[in-house]
Structure 1
Amino acid sequence: MNKKIKKFSIGLISIVLIGFIFFLLGNTTTNAAKQGADLWQMAEAIEHENGQVIEWSLYTRETLNMKDEEQFRSKLVELKRKFPKWNWKQPNGENRFAAVGTNPSAVDSALQEKIQLISTLKNGHRYSYVIYEVSGQTWSSHIAESIKESFPERLALIYKEKPAIFSCIKGEFNDKMDNVLLLKAGKLLKDLHAEEKESLKEKDFYSVSAYSPDFTQAVPLKNSQMNVQIGLRKNGMGAKTTVVIGTPIITIEY
């Protein structure tokens, strides 16, 4: 891995961790029904610039107050009761309780669904979470409509409160121009009605944090706030350009 990729990855991971901290501290204003529309808008922006969507995900997470294994098992029993047809595994480890449920009916469809229940003891403190993720490698208006219909229902079954929600989509462009990153970033910002707030610009990488009135969630910056990130990476001479868009932050590697 060259120095540019390392530098870019470290910066991206830092932004993601900061975003998680702000959301896990108590953002409870998310409109779950809007997430399919957000993904749809990001997909349309990529396709409008002659790109192709190759991956997408909705990631949700809520902190739980668990004191011991008994409470962990009680929560797991509750999830299994609500999702009796799912496949459940328990990859427990030292000082760690964990369970992973997957939807077998989603294996052959365009969607993959997973629930994780995790409780870890660290330095005398127990940290517990429930995580739900739905993802896919293809995108269509049918998928968007399906998410808008089923996603809020899933969240209502899994969570007691409103969880942190992250929408992310990945695509590719065939453009081989030298200045493709700058041009595509500018056009995507325009398509998303977004204003640039912060950016990292290098020869083969471009990451921009922006704010758009079209997206409701937001993460504070030093002097403003952001609710959408765009990352572009040129894969070499004559190769495709990878783009990732996330709201409020990027959660897919690229």
Structure 2
Amino acid sequence: MMKKIVLITLILLLAANNAVAVSVQSDPMTDLAEVIADSNLEVDQWQVTLKETIEYAHAEKILDRFRAKNSYLVSGEEDANTIKYSVRHVQKTNGISEYYNVIFPKDTTYNVQFIAVVKGDVWNKSVREKYVNRINSIKNDYFTGNPTKFACIETSFNDKMNGVYVFNNLKRTLNLKHVKKQDDTVKNSTVKKIFYGYTPLWNQKIDVGDRPLNFQMAVNKGENGNTELTIGTPILINEY
């Protein structure tokens, strides 16, 4: 399960709700996986999250479609403000898992939030092909427009490898601009640094002040002493 990133500033969390779409040029997950492979590293975990606000009627139709299929397990829970349905694809397909959340607010003046998650802990040519086919099918089958996409990938390396080389490879390949670094000053925190930047290769961005942003990388100290990288776009979200 992707680790939660706890040092995202409030302004970034607020800005994430206003992700702006630009022309589609490439897929962030496949781009990141290729950069990691080019750096002679392996993908430890990866996850893509799609989010969209939809109307009640459309949300009910989506749930009915899931309930009609034996390959999906639907469960629900309720709190003071929402009714949340969780959907799990019970058949793991070649290293790829699927999960969905349909969140109905009890205040009907608000729309429903629909979330789809595709994830795995292996990445290779076969998984890449199946991921591309599956994510496109999910978008076409369930989403009404252009959902906000959050991608996250994890990799790690030992201290003998130069972390600067890995980041420079990312910076060069992704053509990163507006790069900023935040050092963690929290005592005993495993997060050492967070990098922010912008690449014109990807189809979403958020604006922080007068600068666009769609790349965030957390550098963590692993339990075994390795350095762990968690990279996300447009930002790392707590659901990873």
TM normalised by structure 2 equals 0.81
Q: Paired residue for 2:177?
A: 195
Per-residue CA shift, 1:76-121, capped at 9, x if unaligned? 224535x553111122334422212111222x63011011111123
Q: Paired residue for 2:32?
A: 42
Q: Paired residue for 1:21?
A: 17
1:65 is displaced (CA, Å) by 3.4
Superposition pairs of residues 211-230 of structure 1, within 5 angstroms: 211-230=198-217
Matched, 1:170 2:149: no
Which amino acid is the alignment partner of residue 51 of structure 2?
Answer: R
1:164 is displaced (CA, Å) by 0.6
Q: In structure 2, what is the Cα distance between the partners aligned to 1:239 and 1:80?
A: 45
Q: Does the 8 Å contact 1:54/1:170 carry over to 2? A: yes
Three-state SS of the structure 2 residue aligned to 1:76 is helix
Q: Paired residue for 1:156?
A: 140
Q: Paired residue for 2:167?
A: 185
Matched, 1:105 2:95: no
Per-residue CA shift, 1:152-187, capped at 9, x if unaligned? 12111111122111111111111257xx55554333
Q: Does the 8 Å contact 1:57/1:167 carry over to 2? A: yes
1:56 is displaced (CA, Å) by 0.5
Q: In structure 1, what is the Cα distance between the partners aligned to 2:58 and 2:178?
A: 45
Matched, 1:54 2:50: no
Question: Which structure's residues are more often helix, by fraction?
Answer: 1
Q: Paired residue for 2:7?
A: 11
Distance 1:163 1:214, change over 3 A: same
1:43 is displaced (CA, Å) by 1.6
Q: In structure 2, what is the Cα distance between the partners aligned to 1:9 and 1:227?
A: 16
Which amino acid is the alignment partner of residue 110 of structure 1?
Answer: G
Q: Does the 8 Å contact 1:208/1:231 carry over to 2? A: yes
Counting matched residue pairs gives: 232
| Percent of residue pairs identical | 19
Which amino acid is the alignment partner of residue 191 of structure 1?
Answer: T
Which amino acid is the alignment partner of residue 145 of structure 2?
Answer: E
Q: Does the 8 Å contact 2:72/2:88 carry over to 1? A: yes
Q: Paired residue for 1:3?
A: none
Q: Which of these residues, 81, 104, 118, is aligned with residue 103 of structure 2?
A: 118
Distance 1:75 1:110, change over 3 A: closer
Matched, 1:244 2:238: no
| Higher RCO, Cα 8 Å, sep 6+ | 2
Q: Does the 8 Å contact 1:114/1:132 carry over to 2? A: yes
1:213 is displaced (CA, Å) by 2.3
1:240 is displaced (CA, Å) by 0.5
Q: Does the 8 Å contact 2:205/2:214 carry over to 1? A: yes
Three-state SS of the structure 2 residue aligned to 1:135 is strand
Q: In structure 2, what is the Cα distance between the partners aligned to 1:120 and 1:212?
A: 35
Which amino acid is the alignment partner of residue 48 of structure 1?
Answer: D
Q: Does the 8 Å contact 1:198/1:209 carry over to 2? A: yes
Q: Does the 8 Å contact 1:226/1:248 carry over to 2? A: yes
Distance 1:110 1:129, change over 3 A: same
Three-state SS of the structure 2 residue aligned to 1:12 is coil
Give the RMSD, CA atoms, in angstroms: 3.1
Q: Does the 8 Å contact 1:28/1:163 carry over to 2? A: no
Runs of at least 5 residues in structure 1 that lack an aligned partner in the other structure: 1-7
Q: In structure 2, what is the Cα distance between the partners aligned to 1:30 and 1:114?
A: 27
Three-state SS of the structure 1 residue aligned to 2:91 is helix
Superposition pairs of residues 133-152 of structure 1, within 5 angstroms: 133-152=117-136
Q: In structure 2, what is the Cα distance between the partners aligned to 1:139 and 1:252?
A: 22
